[in-house]
Amino acid sequence: MNTKSQVLRKRAGWSLDCWPFLMLRYTADDLWALRHDDVTPPRRARKTIFKHRLWQPRDQREYQARRLRRSGFPHSTLIDRTTTGIRVGLLNVRSVAKCSIAILDIITSRCLDVFALTETWHRDSDDLSLKRCAPPGYSIVDSARSHSETRGGGVAHIHSNWFVARRLKFDVKPSTFEVLGCSLRSASLDVVYVVIYRPGSEAVSERFFDELTELLEVVAR
Hey, how many other C-beta atoms are within 10 angstroms of the C-beta on 49? 16
Residues 6+ apart with CB under 8 A from 66: none
First to last CA, the chain: 44
CATH of domain 3-33+58-219: 3.60.10
C-alpha–C-alpha distance, residues 125 and 155, integer Å: 11
Q: Residue 56 above 80 pLDDT?
A: no
Contact 112, 103 (CB under 8 A): no
Single-letter code of the amino acid located at 106: I
Q: Residue 124 above 50 pLDDT?
A: yes
Contact 59, 86 (CB under 8 A): no
Q: Residue 15 above 70 pLDDT?
A: no
Mean pLDDT over 21-47 rounds to 67
Q: Where are the alpha helices (DSSP H) in the chain?
A: 3-12, 28-33, 43-51, 58-70, 81-84, 100-109, 128-131, 206-219
C-alpha–C-alpha distance, residues 112 and 106, integer Å: 8
pLDDT-derived band at 215 (thresholds 50, 70, 90) equals: very high
Q: Residue 4 above 70 pLDDT?
A: no
Hey, how many other C-beta atoms are within 10 angstroms of the C-beta on 173? 9
pTM for the whole structure: 0.65
C-alpha–C-alpha distance, residues 6 and 38, integer Å: 43
pLDDT for the residue 214: 93
Lowest mean pLDDT among 25-29, 45-49, 88-92, 123-127: 25-29
pLDDT for the residue 44: 81
Contact 163, 184 (CB under 8 A): yes
